[in-house]
Chain A
Amino acid sequence: MFSLKIRWLDLLIGILGAALLLIVFIVSASFPAPHQAQLGASVFPRIIVILLAVIALYIAFTSFRKTSTDSIEIHNASKVALSFILLFAYGLLLKKIGFVILTPIFITLLLVLMKFSRILLNVIAALVTTGAIYVVFRLFLSVPLPEGILGF
Chain B
Amino acid sequence: MISYLINGFGNLVLSGSILALFIGVFLGIIIGALPGLTATMGIALLIPFTYGMDPAFALSLMVGIFAGGIYGGSISAILLRTPGTPAAGATVLDGYPLAQKGQAGKALAVSTIASALGGLIGALILTFLAPQIAKIAVLFGPPEYVLLGVYGLSMISYVAGKSMSKGIFMGLLGILISTIGIDPISGFPRFTFGQLNLLSGLSLLPVLIGLFAAAQAFEGVEKYNEIQSPQAKITKIGISGKEFLRILPHIVKSAFIGTFVGAVPGTGTDIAAFLSYGEAKRSAKNGNEFGTGVIEGVAAPESGNNACVNGAMIPMFTLGIPGEAATAVMLGGLMLLGLQPGPLLFRDNPQVIYTVFASTITSNLLILVLGLFGARFFAKVLQLPAKLITTLIFVLAIIGSYAMRNNTFDVSVTIIAGFIGFILTKADYPVPPLLLGLILGPLVEANLGRTVIISEGNYSIFFTRPLCWLFWALILYTIISNISKSRKASKQPSQEAHNGGKA
From A34, A42, A55, contact of B165 by CB (8 A): A55
State which residues 122-140 of A face B: CB under 8 Å: 125-126, 129-130, 133, 136-137, 140
User: A44 contacts B448, CB within 8 Å?
Assistant: yes
The answer for the CA separation of A81 and B448 in the assembled complex, in Å, is 42
Q: How many residues of A are in contact with the other chain, CB < 8 A?
A: 70
| Given A103-B395, A125-B388, A137-B399, A52:B172 Cβ within 8 A | yes
As a 0/1 sequence over residues 363 to 401 of chain B, the CB contacts with chain A under 8 angstroms (1 = contact) are 000000000000000000000010110111011101100
As a 0/1 sequence over residues 445 to 457 of chain B, the CB contacts with chain A under 8 angstroms (1 = contact) are 1001100110011
Q: Does B344 contact A (CB under 8 A)?
A: no
Q: Does A87 contact B (CB under 8 A)?
A: yes
The answer for the CA separation of A98 and B414 in the assembled complex, in Å, is 19
User: B408 contacts A49, CB within 8 Å?
Assistant: no
Q: Which residues of B contact A32 (CB under 8 A)?
A: 186, 188
Q: Does B198 contact A (CB under 8 A)?
A: no
From A24, A55, A88, A90, contact of B169 by CB (8 A): A55
User: B37 contacts A38, CB within 8 Å?
Assistant: no
**B interface, how many residues as a size bin?**
35 or more
As a 0/1 sequence over residues 105 to 145 of chain A, the CB contacts with chain B under 8 angstroms (1 = contact) are 01100110111100000000110011001001100111111
The answer for the CA separation of A27 and B179 in the assembled complex, in Å, is 13
Closest B residue, CB atoms, query A6: B427
Q: Which residues of A contact B218 (CB under 8 A)?
A: 80, 83-84
| Given A49-B176, A142-B45, A90:B398 Cβ within 8 A | yes
User: B172 contacts A110, CB within 8 Å?
Assistant: no
The answer for the CA separation of A40 and B186 in the assembled complex, in Å, is 7
Closest B residue, CB atoms, query A55: B169
Q: Which residues of A contact B165 (CB under 8 A)?
A: 55, 58-59, 62
Q: Which residues of A contact B168 (CB under 8 A)?
A: 55
Closest B residue, CB atoms, query A10: B427
User: B186 contacts A34, CB within 8 Å?
Assistant: yes
State which residues 398-418 of B face A: CB under 8 Å: 398-399, 402-403, 406, 408, 411-412, 414-415, 418
Q: Does A152 contact B (CB under 8 A)?
A: no
The answer for the CA separation of A42 and B449 in the assembled complex, in Å, is 11
The answer for the CA separation of A81 and B37 in the assembled complex, in Å, is 28
Q: Does B419 contact A (CB under 8 A)?
A: yes
| Given A44-B448, A133-B395, A141:B37 Cβ within 8 A | yes
Q: Which residues of A contact B183 (CB under 8 A)?
A: 31, 41
User: B415 contacts A115, CB within 8 Å?
Assistant: no
User: A115 contacts B225, CB within 8 Å?
Assistant: yes
Q: Which residues of B contact A42 (CB under 8 A)?
A: 190
Q: Does B30 contact A (CB under 8 A)?
A: yes
Known: A37-B456, A41-B186, A55-B168; 13 extra A-B contacts, CB below 8 A, are A6-B427, A44-B445, A48-B172, A51-B172, A59-B166, A76-B222, A83-B221, A91-B414, A103-B395, A106-B394, A129-B391, A136-B30, A146-B402
| 5 A-B contact pairs sorted by A residue (CB < 8 Å) | A6-B427, A37-B453, A39-B453, A83-B217, A133-B395
- Which residues of A approach B to under 8 Å, CB–CB? 6, 9-10, 13, 17, 20, 24, 27-28, 31-32, 34, 37-42, 44-45, 48-49, 51-52, 55-56, 58-59, 62, 72-77, 79-80, 83-84, 87-88, 90-92, 94-95, 99, 103, 106-107, 110-111, 113-116, 125-126, 129-130, 133, 136-137, 140-146
- Which residues of B approach A to under 8 Å, CB–CB? 27, 30-31, 34, 37, 45, 165-166, 168-169, 172-173, 175-176, 179, 183, 185-186, 188, 190-191, 214, 217-218, 221-225, 385, 387-388, 390-392, 394-396, 398-399, 402-403, 406, 408, 411-412, 414-415, 418-419, 422-423, 426-429, 441, 445, 448-449, 452-453, 456-457
